[in-house]
Structure 1
Amino acid sequence: MSLTTDDVQTGNRNIGPLPAGHPPVKQPKVGIMLVNLGTPDGTDFAPMWRYLREFLSDPRVIELSRVVWYPILYGLVLTTRPKKSGANYKTIWNEAKNESPLRTYTRAQAEKLSQMLADKPNVVVDWGMRYGTPSIASSVQRLMDQGCERIVMFPLYPQFSATTTATASDQLFRALMKIRAMPAIRTVPAYYDEPAYIEALANSVNSHLATLDFEPEVVLASYHGIPKAYFEKGDPYHCHCLKTTRLLRERLGWDDKKLITTFQSRFGAQEWLQPYTDKTVEKLAKEGVKSIAVINPGFSADCIETLEEIAGEAAEIFHHGGGKNFTHIPCLNDSDDGMAVIDTLVRRELAGWA
């Protein structure tokens, strides 16, 4: 059997000199895929319905039996929640680009990372979302179209959970199942205790607090919650969150009364990880605390959960309860410190590949 151009380009073996007139062999490339949770394409009912259906149909997110869950999902949740969620998204929507902030920030992270890796000409950077667009499958295809035979997938979730990191990996391998000549894969592990990440968080706290005309009495490290049952089944997320807070507290030189861990964004009637952020904010206000700040260490970029739920809703709860000063500390986003974290971890995972 004779070798074709594709045969030569696909393999890494030295097969000897090419015949005269043969197209030059392209250098295999390595792809970096940044992955975040996802975003609807718009705030109207239809795009919100599509996004929520995909998100809430994920068995990693909702572990109820499909027989039990689907009638609830299609009979109640998807008839009411798209309108409410769409209204919330409208309050934080990037009107200039007609997209959610999460998409804006994730794209910016990918573009900046590409510039930071200019010293590695055989590395290509792309990005995708677990839910919504651009999809993980489309990102894989774009990277392969550019000659990537190896891909490093970076789930932008500092703390590991089956509901986030694991389902992103699931989706990646679903896409690869449809590809015969699939690329080699690496995934970046959770980075909840990475020194570069803790340093970046500390810098963001100090920089933000330096702009205020008040000193927060309490700072909440608010993480996205998961059902308590998931933790009891072995999900390490709760432990990862607590360690992040402890390391950040130590780096800032604060005690456990100054920086506390809370959990937000619960859904449904079952018990979730506690203490709940909204209840804690309300309690602090009623106890006479006048100034608080909230940081979201579990989010790599600002999104509906940080901008609407914390900067908006939690602030309203605090003020309504008698609190005076509330501030939300932005996520790392595509800041210099945030990009330094991504660059550090990507370069480590590229070892031996680029």
Structure 2
Amino acid sequence: MGNNVKTGVLLVNLGTPTAPTAKAVRAFLGQFLHDYRVVDLTRMLWCPILHGIILPFRSPKVAKLYASVWMEEGSPLMVISRRQQAALGQMLQEAGIDMPVALGMSYGEPSINTAWQELKAAGVDRVIILPLYPQYSVSTTASVFDSWARIMKKERRLPAFRFIRDYHDNHGYIKALAESVRASWQEHGQSDLLLLSYHGIPKRFEDQGDPYGQQCHRTSELLAAELGLAPHQWRTTFQSRFGREEWLQPYTDKTMESLPAEGIKRISVVCPAFSADCLETLEEISSENKEYFMKAGGEQYVYIPALNDNQAHIRMMMDLVCREIA
């Protein structure tokens, strides 16, 4: 490609309700749970369950959880994602790289199409798509690709594009995680166990070829090695299961309840699959699972925040992006 090609970055995350209300949560969950990549049941079976049971009963409960973590500027995921977008844009600019950065969400606003229209208006004709999911899954990363493909169907002139599938073993990502763990240990003291909790997926997805679980375990191994941990000093678990079928195990909540009986009373918890703090980290891990652990006899529970907009994380994003145009 010639030097006149203008490149833009499209950051993508999952999305969030616009407000901590039952109505806003229902709209968000309706779009999210309608995605066949997320729930692959036949629509004739799934839609009556979704609209007749799940959305009416779950939305008010989830809205209360969102209200417990809502920030003055809005949803934590949106606030942090905007900070990431601004920080990456500034870092590229300071490096003398003219590359606009847009933010899109798989569900809700700003949509992936809204972000693409921003880049298009800026004269971009090559796009680097960076889904902010370190580990690939059909239910997250593949859904981003589906959305992009649907948007491109309407375009007369397709931009060139690069799609960053995952970065679960990227050295900059592992080092950034290690820095965050060390900083927490320096503040709170090193715990008996570092627990790495990843968002779960149905076990069936893995059986059908989704590499997510394998990539999570690889991330854990690399982080443990970077920190110099022995096997008994760290453990991988999976959180946020939904429905009755088996998901990837061991489950985070069940592990929390059993650790004190094993003599593990002081733990640190990090969630390497989340690039930004959100409901699943701030409420489910930092609050709900802490309660399980402490009630079971735990003595110290420290949640290590997601990488969010810290400099090492943004630098890793810039390295990933610049590698695609080298």
After TM superposition, the score normalised by the length of structure 1 is 0.89
Cα shift at 1:121: 4.7
- Secondary structure of 2:255 counterpart: helix
Q: Is the 8 A contact 1:205 1:329 kept in 2?
A: yes
- Counterpart code for 2:258: K
Q: After superposition, what is the alpha-carbon deviation per residue over 1:86-133, rounded to whole angstroms, capped at 9, x for unaligned?
A: 1001111012x1x21111111111111111111445311111111111
- Counterpart code for 1:337: A
Is 1:172 the counterpart of 2:148? The answer is yes
- Taking the aligned partners of 1:152 and 1:172, their CA distance within structure 2 comes to 12
Equivalent residues in 2 for 1:230-269, closer than 5 Å = 230-269=205-244
Cα shift at 1:13: 8.8
Q: Is the 8 A contact 1:29 1:124 kept in 2?
A: no
Q: Is the 8 A contact 1:157 1:190 kept in 2?
A: yes
Gaps of 5+ in 1: 1-11, 15-26
Gaps of 5+ in 2: none
RMSD of the TM alignment (CA)? Answer: 1.4
- Taking the aligned partners of 2:39 and 2:320, their CA distance within structure 1 comes to 30
> Identity of aligned pairs, percent?
45
- Secondary structure of 2:139 counterpart: helix
Is 1:64 the counterpart of 2:41? The answer is yes
Equivalent residues in 2 for 1:115-134, closer than 5 Å = 115-118=90-93, 119-134=95-110
After TM superposition, the score normalised by the length of structure 2 is 0.97
The match for 1:198 is 174
Q: Is the 8 A contact 1:38 1:131 kept in 2?
A: yes
- Counterpart code for 1:165: T
- Counterpart code for 1:236: P
- Counterpart code for 1:35: V
- Taking the aligned partners of 1:264 and 1:310, their CA distance within structure 2 comes to 9
The match for 1:106 is 81
Q: Is the 8 A contact 1:28 1:122 kept in 2?
A: no
Equivalent residues in 2 for 1:1-354, closer than 5 Å = 28-95=5-72, 97=73, 99-118=74-93, 119-212=95-188, 214-351=189-326
- Taking the aligned partners of 2:225 and 2:236, their CA distance within structure 1 comes to 14
Cα shift at 1:168: 0.8
The match for 1:6 is none
After alignment, is 297-306 or 169-178 more displaced? Answer: 169-178
- Counterpart code for 2:100: V
The structure with more radius of gyration: 1
- Taking the aligned partners of 1:75 and 1:255, their CA distance within structure 2 comes to 49
Cα shift at 1:215: 3.1
- Taking the aligned partners of 2:263 and 2:238, their CA distance within structure 1 comes to 22
**Taking structure 1 as reference, are residues 13 and 200 closer, same or farther at Cα in structure 2, changes over 3 Å only?**
closer
The match for 1:9 is none
- Counterpart code for 1:205: V
More helix by percentage: 2
- Counterpart code for 1:86: A
- Secondary structure of 1:33 counterpart: strand
Q: Is the 8 A contact 2:92 2:98 kept in 1?
A: no
Q: Is the 8 A contact 1:35 1:156 kept in 2?
A: yes
Any runs of at least 4 consecutive aligned residues in structure 1 with deviations exceeding 6 A, and if so which?
none
